Amino acid sequence: MLTQTTSRVLEPADLDAALAVLDREPVANAFVTSRVQVAGLDPWRLGGEMWGWYEDGILTSLCYAGANLVPLCATPRAVRAFAGRARRAGRRCSSIVGPARPTAELWRLLEPGWGPAREVRPHQPLMITDRMPAGVAPDPYVRRVRKDEMETIMPACVAMFTEEVGVSPLAGDGGLLYQARVAELVGSGRSFARFDADGKVVFKAEIGAVTDRACQIQGVWVAPEYRGRGLAAPGMAAVLRYALTEVAPVVSLYVNDFNTPARRTYRKVGFQEAGAFMSVLF
């Protein structure tokens, strides 16, 4: 039993305690919770380490350290401990992302050694809903993407990622990891799109993180030549219907505060702000 404040890398035996912490904020933590529920805490399967912070022997805060650095339910003392561990390990992540308050403090402590960042997005509204909108009918042409449509959906996914993040997901490993993730979402029935008469993607979105309490919509995108035609709200309503009826009772997403059209669309289909995320991109 740990009897003092301390941090350490969690082990598979710590799974129940880690899940109990994650369950305190099921919506905000859905991204990491979904990974932990599938992979446990083994770093090789999880794709990174899970750091824990203990107060009087009780696990109270977490930080996922993989491709992203993600502070979770992190108190100020925990953030300082996680920052110290991150400094000693050196930067291995492509972003720091998470609830705005602990993420901002974590970045403040890491910036002198890790900065400058390529971009900092300090306020990304976290939006949630638990019901279908009353005034927006789901687009009947939005459907699950089939496995044999990978070559069709992949360019749209790359375009969305590049537009959103500012770099191509094909850089580095040639896109192998990104393609595997897209294939995983398609294979699990969580990738949705509307296609035009020529088979081109005009709207797409995925249900990314999934737990029994919440799920997260991601990768929302409308082809540039189809923007302004009113496709986004009905498309989102269609994906939302799948999410609420087949996946989880609460649906979330987070969006850049400067993306006024997207925020307007999400409010139109019933999403309400329930907090904020922050992202630091390298």
How much is the mean pLDDT over the chain? 96
pLDDT of 175: 84
Query: How far are the Cα atoms of 55, 70, 84 from residue 77, in angstroms, in the given order?
Result: 10, 15, 11
* pLDDT tens sequence across 20-65: 999 999 999 999 999 999 999 999 999 999 999 999 999 999 999 9
The Cα 280–Cα 192 span in angstroms is 28
pLDDT for 172 equals 76
Topology match between the domains 5-116 and 142-275 = yes
pLDDT band at 5 (very low <50, low <70, confident <90, very high): confident
Q: What is the pLDDT of residues 160-187, one digit of tens each?
A: 999 999 999 998 788 899 999 999 999 9
Q: Please report the DSSP string for 20-47 in residue order.
A: HHHTTSTTTTHHHHHHHHHHTT-HHHHT
Under CATH, which architecture does the 5-116 domain have?
Answer: 3-Layer(aba) Sandwich (3.40)
User: Distance from CA of residue 188 to its chain's centroid?
Assistant: 17
**Sign of the torsion angle spanned by Cα atoms 111, 112, 115, 121:** positive
CATH of domain 142-275: 3.40.630.30
Task: Provide the pLDDT for residue 173.
Answer: 82
pLDDT digits (tens, 9 = 90+) for 206-264: 999 999 999 999 999 999 999 999 999 999 999 999 999 999 999 999 999 999 999 99
Torsion over CA: 25, 26, 29, 32 (sign):
positive
Tell me which residue of 104, 86, 11 sits closest to 52, measured CA to CA: 11
The residue with tokens 């003392």 is 77
* Domain spans, the chain: 5-116, 142-275
